[in-house]
Amino acid sequence: MRFAPDGSAVGYSIQGYDETAVLINGRRHTACLLVCAESLRSPWGPATDPTALTAEQLDQLLALAPQVLLLGTGRRALLPRPALLLPFSQRGVGVEIMTTAAACRTYNVLAAEGRRVVAVLMPPDFEAAAGALT
């Protein structure tokens, strides 16, 4: 799905996605990535399990001081272990787990509202991509 260009967005905005990639500022990303208004890190995070973030990766996310963290887990919403969510809850950070497609749409809406949103996004069909690597 492609989104209409906004023109008013500053920093990184998600322009679209398909089964294999997320399009950000004109560039296709086919690996797990981290995006917020000021930063894009690709590849970033776990390669095959979007809910298996390391302690170091959690610290990196918390250092960005998000109001909302979006976890786009591919074609299906995969719930992380509760211990993953605890540090965010303790700091008052909202965490939303959803499909990557929904996370892409939600990221743009929250960013346009001026919210401090951080998204960790797997390719929409990460299971197929991961299977191709093994």
Domain of 62, CATH number, reads 3.40.1230.10
How high is the pLDDT of residue 8? 46
In which domain, by residue range, is 102 found?
A: 14-133
The answer to whether residue 48 is domain-embedded is yes
How high is the pLDDT of residue 131? 38
At 105 the three-state DSSP class reads helix
How high is the pLDDT of residue 1? 55
Q: How many domains does the chain have?
A: 1
The answer to whether residue 84 is domain-embedded is yes
The answer to whether residue 8 is domain-embedded is no
How high is the pLDDT of residue 127? 58
Q: Which two tokens stand for residue 128?
A: 């197929």
CB 22 within 8 A of CB 121: yes
Q: Look up residue 31 and give its amino acid.
A: A
Distance of CA 52 to the CA centre of its chain: 14
The answer to whether residue 3 is domain-embedded is no
How high is the pLDDT of residue 10? 60
How high is the pLDDT of residue 109? 96
Residue stretches of the chain with pLDDT short of 70: 1-10, 50, 126-134
